[in-house]
């Protein structure tokens, strides 16, 4: 593949040279042609690259200083990728070092050439056109790739090898590298998950006060319902640990509602029991929306009737808890407006309304049958 790409680049540059012939810059074209030919024929054997693959890594400047061409960087990157896949803990730092160095090199080269009207600027323009990218975007992609390597390694150190300090170092590095990409205008696709990983690590190592701001930032970057649900779940536990009971309940209710709306259909709701019981235990209070969530799920699964549910919910302060208020409104057939605080719970509440309507219809039919039997007796 590297050889094929070199062929494409060579042909593109040769055509550019041909287009410039006969115009006002013959010296520039001759210099460009000389550069192309010399670089194209300067190819190093793959085993020469292998000798540079070491655990401590190598920078682009060190690589070029050994006489290799810039186009051999892809082969060097591939060589590091292969050894890292085989021995991740040994070659992680070296691989990350190379990826960061490539990103930095792209930015430095762009800055150095920004005021140059000569051959180097022309080459940058041609390569950017061929690759359909900019030096900033390319650098951002390498920062993101390095961040993914760091994240992968962190999961080996903790919990697999029970080395939380090492895991934390890589998690923090992953966040910082993705921030660099954002500063260049590229938001990593899973930045919320990277932040969530670091925040959860802080929580699991008994530092909820450090976890909270990181998880709140993760929620800002969450793009999908799955990401929002995951971060809200971890935020709920963090808030509960910090004694912020209302926030803990609100976050867990939203998390369960998101999961219910995207993953769940009528049937088993026991998969939510553990999260509900955990928040009840951590907050020390059953008369909140988290218990209302349990009631709603029991209604949907047929474990409670509407009348039984109302008796339970009447013990909870509906003025304080929005899910309780809305659920009681549905069961009492009151006019209601869904609060924006529980917008994530729309599907669950719709299912509860269906159950309630069925019960009401059933009661009406039973009442009508009773009246009919009474008339027939008369």
C-alpha–C-alpha distance, residues 73 and 296, integer Å? 58
Residue 2 is predicted with a pLDDT of 46
With cut-offs at 50, 70 and 90, classify the pLDDT of residue 119: low
With cut-offs at 50, 70 and 90, classify the pLDDT of residue 25: low
Q: Which residues contact 97 (CB under 8 A, 6 or more apart)?
A: 56, 57, 58, 59
Q: Which residues contact 359 (CB under 8 A, 6 or more apart)?
A: 305, 306
Residue 286 is predicted with a pLDDT of 92
Q: For residue 3, is pLDDT > 70?
A: no
C-alpha–C-alpha distance, residues 201 and 205, integer Å? 6
pLDDT in tens, 211-255: 999 999 999 999 999 999 999 999 999 999 999 999 999 999 999
C-alpha–C-alpha distance, residues 261 and 296, integer Å? 13
Residue 364 is predicted with a pLDDT of 42
Residue 357 is predicted with a pLDDT of 82
Residue 356 is predicted with a pLDDT of 84
pLDDT in tens, 47-83: 778 889 999 999 999 999 988 888 889 999 999 999 9
Least confident of 22-31, 75-84, 106-115, 258-267: 22-31
The domain segmentation of the chain, as residue ranges, is 1-15+34-108, 243-378
pLDDT in tens, 185-214: 999 999 999 999 999 999 999 999 999 999
The DSSP call for residue 175 is H
Q: Which residues contact 153 (CB under 8 A, 6 or more apart)?
A: 88, 89, 92, 170
Listed in sequence order, the DSSP H helices in the chain are: 2-20, 26-41, 46-50, 60-65, 73-86, 88-113, 119-131, 135-155, 164-183, 191-204, 208-221, 225-241, 245-263, 273-283, 289-301, 306-313, 322-331, 346-377
The C-alpha torsion from 275 through 277 and 283 to 285, rounded to 10°, is 140
How large is the average pLDDT for residues 86-113?
Answer: 92
Q: For residue 29, is pLDDT > 60?
A: no
DSSP string, 30-86: HHHHHHHHHHHH----HHHHHTT--TT---HHHHHHTT--GGGHHHHHHHHHHHHHH
pTM value surpassing 0.85: no
CB 101 within 8 Å of CB 64: no
C-alpha–C-alpha distance, residues 6 and 29, integer Å? 20
With cut-offs at 50, 70 and 90, classify the pLDDT of residue 45: low
Q: How far is CA 49 from each of CA 46, 58, 163, 247, 326, rounded to the nearest angstrom?
A: 5, 11, 33, 55, 66
* Residue 64 burial (C-beta neighbours within 10 Å; 0-12, 13-18, 19+): middle
Q: For residue 314, is pLDDT > 50?
A: yes
C-alpha–C-alpha distance, residues 149 and 93, integer Å? 9
C-alpha–C-alpha distance, residues 201 and 182, integer Å? 22
C-alpha–C-alpha distance, residues 100 and 96, integer Å? 6
C-alpha–C-alpha distance, residues 310 and 324, integer Å? 10
Share of residues in the chain with pLDDT > 90 (%)? 65
Residue 71 is predicted with a pLDDT of 84
pLDDT in tens, 134-175: 899 999 999 999 999 999 999 999 988 999 999 999 999 999
Q: For residue 284, is pLDDT > 70?
A: yes
The DSSP call for residue 118 is S
Residue 31 is predicted with a pLDDT of 53
Match 């909820």 to its residue by tokens: 208
What's the mean pLDDT when you consider all of the chain? Answer: 84
Share of residues in the chain with pLDDT > 70 (%)? 75
Q: For residue 368, is pLDDT > 50?
A: no
């Amino acid at each position: 593949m590297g050889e094929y790409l070199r062929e494409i680049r060579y042909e593109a540059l040769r055509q550019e040279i041909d287009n410039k012939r006969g115009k006002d810059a013959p010296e520039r074209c001759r210099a460009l042609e000389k550069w192309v030919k010399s670089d194209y024929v300067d190819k190093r054997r793959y085993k020469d690259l292998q000798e540079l693959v070491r655990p401590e890594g190598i920078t682009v400047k060190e690589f070029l200083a050994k006489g290799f061409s810039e186009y051999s960087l892809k082969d060097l990157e591939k060589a590091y990728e292969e050894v890292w896949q085989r021995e991740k803990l040994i070659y992680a730092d070296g691989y990350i070092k190379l990826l960061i160095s490539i990103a930095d090199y792209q930015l430095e080269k762009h800055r150095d050439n920004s005021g140059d009207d000569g051959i180097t600027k022309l080459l940058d323009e041609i390569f950017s056109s061929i690759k359909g990218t900019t030096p900033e975007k390319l650098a951002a992609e390498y920062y993101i790739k390095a961040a993914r390597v760091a994240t992968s390694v962190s999961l080996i150190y903790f919990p697999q090898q029970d080395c939380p300090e090492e895991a934390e170092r890589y998690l923090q590095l992953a966040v910082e590298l993705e921030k660099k990409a954002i500063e260049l205008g590229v938001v990593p696709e899973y930045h919320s998950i990277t932040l969530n990983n670091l925040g959860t690590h802080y929580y699991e190592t008994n530092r909820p006060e450090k976890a909270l701001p990181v998880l709140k930032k993760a929620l800002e970057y969450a793009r999908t319902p799955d990401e929002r649900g995951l971060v809200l779940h971890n935020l709920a536990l963090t808030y509960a640990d910090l004694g912020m009971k209302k926030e803990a309940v609100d976050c867990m209710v939203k998390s369960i509602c998101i999961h219910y709306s995207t993953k769940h259909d009528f049937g088993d709701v026991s998969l939510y029991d553990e999260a509900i019981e955990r928040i009840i235990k951590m907050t020390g209070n059953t008369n909140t929306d988290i218990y209302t969530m349990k009631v709603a799920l029991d209604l949907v699964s047929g474990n409670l009737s509407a009348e039984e549910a109302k008796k339970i919910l009447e013990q909870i302060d509906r003025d304080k808890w929005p899910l309780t208020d809305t659920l009681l409104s549905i069961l009492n057939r009151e006019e209601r407006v869904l609060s924006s605080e529980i917008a994530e719970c729309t599907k669950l509440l719709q299912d509860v309304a269906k159950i309630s309507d069925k019960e009401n219809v059933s009661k009406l039919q039973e009442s009508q049958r009773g009246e009919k039997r009474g008339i027939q007796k008369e």
